[in-house]
Structure 1
Amino acid sequence: MTESMERLQKVIAQSGITSRRKAEQLIVAGKVKVNNKIVTELGTKVSLQDKIEVNGVNLEKEMPVYFMLYKPRGVISSVTDDKGRKVVTDFFTETPERLFPIGRLDYDSTGLILLTNDGEFANLLMHPRHEIEKVYTVKVKGIVQKTDLSQLRKGVKEGRDLLRAVRSKIISFDKRSNSTVLEIVLNEGKNRHIRRMMQTIGYPVTKLKRESYGLLTLRGLRVGEFRALTPKEVKQMWNLATKNVKQ
C-alpha cells in the first residue's frame, strides 16, 4: 500500500502551530527541516514517518480529529485559564489528541463550538472572508422594534468595530417581563459581537445560545455533551468555507 504524502506546509498548518501561509513563509526562510535537512521548496511532500522541525522544534504529528461540543454556560473557550475556571478541553480528558477550539463562544453563552487538532481546518473556518453563517438565539431586555432589526443589518458602530448581523428576526416578546427573543445570524465573529451590538442599541443580552455553525447543528446533543464530526461533515464544512471565499 502506498504511503500517504502531503505537502509540507499543509502538515505544518494541520499541527495547529500556525497558518498555511505562515508555514510557507517559514519554509522559504529556511526555518524548516525535514529529516535534519533544511527544506525551502514549497512543493515538498512528506509522510507521517518524516521528522519535521520548525524553528528548531520537533513537530508532533497527529491524525486530525474534529468534534462539536454543546458548551454550557460558565466555561471558557480556551485550552487553559489563568483563573482556574473550566475550559472546553476539560470535556475531552479521554481524547489523546491535543485539541483547541475553533473561535470563541463567550463564558456566559451556550451552544455549539467546534474543537480540532487541525490548524488548517480551524484557520479556514475562522477566516471572515469565508463567511460561514452561525445562528444564535438571543434573549434581551426590552421590546425590540423592526427598525432596530434594520439597524443590525446596516451595522452598529462600537469602538473601532462595525458590528453587523446578516439576518435577524423577532421570535417572541413578553411585555410583562420586558424582554424579546431574537434569532441573529452572523458570518463573522468579532469579540462579544452580539452582546456589544445589542448593548449599543439599548438591548442588553441576558441569554445567548449558538444553535448552528454552517451545516452543523446541536441536534441530538445535551448541554455538556460532544460528538465527533463524520468525515462527510468535515468535507461539507471544508467545501462550504472554500465555496464562500470572496475573490
Structure 2
Amino acid sequence: MRLNRFLAAAGVGSRRHCDGLIAAGRVTVNGKICTNFSAQPGAQDHVKVDGKLVRTAPALTIMLHKPAGFVSTRKDPHARDTVFDLIPQKYHRLFNIGRLDAQTEGLLLLTNDGELAQRLTHPRHKIDKEYAVTLDRPWDPALAPKLLRGIFLDGQRAKIEKIHSVSPTRLLVVLRQGINRQIHRMFEVVGYRVKHLLRLRIGNLRLADLPRGHWRVLTARDLSRLGASR
C-alpha cells in the first residue's frame, strides 16, 4: 500500500491531504523523513506525522445532522461551536468529508476512511449532493438554463445538475461539485438570496428523519447507498 493510502486508511485525512503532508516533509518512516510517494510501508514500519505515531484503525463513518451555527472544522479561531462539539470525544479523530457553511444545515459525513473521502469528493466520481433551497422571493424558472449551463466561479465553471421547484420559493438542487458557497453564489448571480440551505442527500444516502444535532454510525448498507464504489 502506497504511503498516501496508508495514511488515509489510518484516518490522517484524504489522499490529497496526505500527499501534502508527504511533500512538506512532515512524514517519517522508521525515523527518516520520507518524501517518496511510492514508498510502501509494511506492518513492522513506524510511520509518524509531525512526530506522532500513525496507527491504522478499522474504517468508521458517521452521519450527522448539522444544525445552523456550527462550523465544519475541528477548532475555530473565533471560538465558534464546531461539529465536533456534537459528537463524543472518542470520535474526534474523524475528519469531515467536505464542509457545510456555518449557517447551512443537513447531512454531513465524518470518517477515518481517506479512500471513501477521496471517492466522495473527487469530481470524476460524479456523486450527487441534493439540497433544499429556500429563496427570498418566487423563483423564475426561465433562469434555470443559465445555472444548468454553468457560471464561472473561482476560475472554473460552476454547474447545477438539476433544479426542481417544490413551491414558489423552495427548490431542490443537485450538485456534483464542491466550490465554496457554490449555491449561495450562483443564485446571487441571477439576483436571488438564499435564505435557508439544507443538504438532504449524498449519493443515495438520505438525511431522512435523523433529528437536528444527532448522529449515527453508518452501516455497510448505508455505505453502499453513497454510490462511491471502489
- What TM-score comes out, normalization by structure 1 length? 0.79
1:33 is the counterpart of 2:13: no
Give the equivalent residue in structure 1 for 2:159.
164
Alpha-carbon distance, 1:21 to partner:
9.1
Task: Check conservation: 2:3, 2:37, Cα contact below 8 A.
Answer: no
Q: What SS does structure 2 have at the residue aligned with 1:234?
A: helix
Q: 1:186 aligns with which of 168, 175, 178?
A: 175
Give the equivalent residue in structure 2 for 1:114.
109
- CA 165–41 in structure 1, closer or farther in 2 if over 3 Å, else same: closer
Give the equivalent residue in structure 2 for 1:204.
193
Query: Over residues 136-176 of structure 1, what are the superposed CA-to-partner deviations in whole Å (9 max), with x where a residue is unaligned?
Result: 11010222122111111011234634321001011111xxx
CA–CA distance in structure 1, aligned partners of residues 108 and 78 of structure 2: 21
Number of matched residues? 227
1:80 is the counterpart of 2:75: yes
Which of 197-206 and 49-58 deviates more? Answer: 49-58
Gaps of 5+ in 2: none
CA–CA distance in structure 2, aligned partners of residues 148 and 96 of structure 1: 43
CA–CA distance in structure 1, aligned partners of residues 16 and 77 of structure 2: 29
Task: Check conservation: 2:8, 2:14, Cα contact below 8 A.
Answer: yes
- CA 65–155 in structure 1, closer or farther in 2 if over 3 Å, else same: same
CA–CA distance in structure 1, aligned partners of residues 22 and 199 of structure 2: 36
- CA 135–56 in structure 1, closer or farther in 2 if over 3 Å, else same: same
Give the equivalent residue in structure 2 for 1:241.
228
CA–CA distance in structure 1, aligned partners of residues 172 and 18 of structure 2: 37
Alpha-carbon distance, 1:51 to partner:
2.5
Q: What SS does structure 1 have at the residue aligned with 2:64?
A: strand
Alpha-carbon distance, 1:50 to partner:
4.6
Alpha-carbon distance, 1:8 to partner:
4.6
1:46 is the counterpart of 2:42: yes
CA–CA distance in structure 1, aligned partners of residues 55 and 193 of structure 2: 44
Task: Check conservation: 1:91, 1:224, Cα contact below 8 A.
Answer: yes
Q: What SS does structure 2 have at the residue aligned with 1:86?
A: coil
Map 1:114-153 → 2, pairs under 5 A:
114-153=109-148
2:167 aligned partner, one-letter code: S
Which of 6-15 and 207-216 deviates more? Answer: 6-15
CA–CA distance in structure 2, aligned partners of residues 41 and 212 of structure 1: 34
Alpha carbon RMSD of aligned pairs, Å? 3.0
CA–CA distance in structure 1, aligned partners of residues 154 and 113 of structure 2: 33
Alpha-carbon distance, 1:212 to partner:
0.4
CA–CA distance in structure 2, aligned partners of residues 242 and 56 of structure 1: 34
1:230 is the counterpart of 2:225: no
Identity %: 33
Task: Check conservation: 2:160, 2:173, Cα contact below 8 A.
Answer: yes
Alpha-carbon distance, 1:42 to partner:
4.1
Which of 65-74 and 161-170 deviates more? Answer: 161-170
Which of 101-110 and 118-127 deviates more? Answer: 118-127
Which of 11-20 and 113-122 deviates more? Answer: 11-20
CA–CA distance in structure 2, aligned partners of residues 164 and 150 of structure 1: 10
Larger radius of gyration: 1
CA–CA distance in structure 2, aligned partners of residues 228 and 164 of structure 1: 31
CA–CA distance in structure 2, aligned partners of residues 54 and 140 of structure 1: 45
Task: Check conservation: 2:70, 2:80, Cα contact below 8 A.
Answer: yes
- CA 188–43 in structure 1, closer or farther in 2 if over 3 Å, else same: same
- CA 97–107 in structure 1, closer or farther in 2 if over 3 Å, else same: closer
